[in-house]
Amino acid sequence: MTNKIETTELKAKDFQSDQDVRWCPGCGDYSVLSSVQKIFPKLGIKKENFVWIAGIGCSSRFPYYMDTYGMHGIHGRAPAIATGLKVARPDLSVWVSTGDGDLMSIGGNHFIHACRKNIDLKLILFNNQIYGLTKGQYSPTSKKGIVTKSSPYGSVDYPFNPTSLALGAEATFVARTLDRDVKHLQEMLLRAGEHKGTAFLEVYQNCVIFNDGVYNEYTDKETKADNIIKLEQGEPLLFGKNFDKGIKIDGFNPVVVDLNDGVHTMEDLLVHDEFDESPVRSFIYSHMTDHPELPTPIGVFRQCKRETYDEAVTRQIDDITAKKGEGSLEDLLFSGNTWEVE
């Protein structure tokens, strides 16, 4: 269990390190950093029990800027390192900062197995749909056709859908948010921090240098109401400037309906249930991004309770110890398939 404190006297500034923050001016990473520092005191966890693990990329500078324990690992391996730490020290609150190039490419295998095992990690994906630190190559989440230094005639790749991948790999908490919607961002970070199990949060984050404006339709004042739909527990899927549009299901297909057409009413709309035992509903949400005519969902797609991998390991050790007593290194070395060499 993560050690909690009854009274929280920590402030955001207590999590600010003495390192100069060296992201490009206007980068969405600043928003995530500030939001994390603001919500950490609300989790009621001792400062010395927070740990940040990172791989390679702009987002992976995060451990330097947090006044907590942390480690800068190697490309794509942050979930594996974090898994080892959490199993060895289940009392710690372990967070991973990673980018779409880091987690969705070389780190993809580590990611899906962290989700599958339900290790109690908080995986924060900074998705700017580009390789930023290495100066602008297309990434596994870049849109098909994007022109970059590594795709001068347009990428022919089909992009990964990180939220769909996390749902398919059985992460027990899956959510999405935006770097420029600070209130929602902080709410999702807090929800992820409070979850017991693998919590995956995809952050749509703008890269002002190599992929500027990739999420403008979701953040600009004039367009965001028609292009974003917030998932709220127990509420119908409504969007639009006047909340007069909604989503209903036709078979397994989500479709937009106009509540002013005299045909459709609130009763026709899909109602969000993040606790649904079936992953089908959340999987449908995740693929709404495939269709330009549909709004993009943000919020908690799904969460469920399941024993975590680290809890299971600890319980297994306790059970064996209770039955057989404490073992010894000598017994381990000289038991089983061992032999003597004359």
pLDDT tens profile 32-51? 999 999 999 999 999 999 99
The pLDDT assigned to 324 comes to 80
- Nearest-10 Cα torsion for 268, 270, 275, 276: 80
- From 127, 148, 35, 49, select the one nearest 91 (Cα to Cα): 49
Domain assignments of the chain as residue spans, ordered by start = 12-229
Reported as a pLDDT band with limits 50, 70 and 90, residue 339 is low
Residue 342 is given by DSSP the state: -
The pLDDT assigned to 2 comes to 54
The pLDDT assigned to 334 comes to 75
pLDDT per residue as tens digits for the range 302-329: 999 999 999 999 999 888 888 888 777 7
Reported as a pLDDT band with limits 50, 70 and 90, residue 340 is low
Measured between its terminal Cα atoms, the distance across the chain in Å is: 49
Percent of all residues in the chain with a pLDDT value above 70, rounded to a whole number: 96
Q: Do 153 and 115 meet the contact criterion of CB atoms below 8 Å apart? A: no
Q: How far is CA 214 from the centre of its chain?
A: 19
Reported as a pLDDT band with limits 50, 70 and 90, residue 6 is very low
Q: Topology of 12-229 in CATH?
A: Rossmann fold (3.40.50)
Q: Do 231 and 301 meet the contact criterion of CB atoms below 8 Å apart? A: yes
What phi and psi values does residue 94 have, to the nearest 5 degrees?
-105, 125
* Residue 296 structure tokens: 């993009």
- pLDDT at 7 > cutoff 60: no
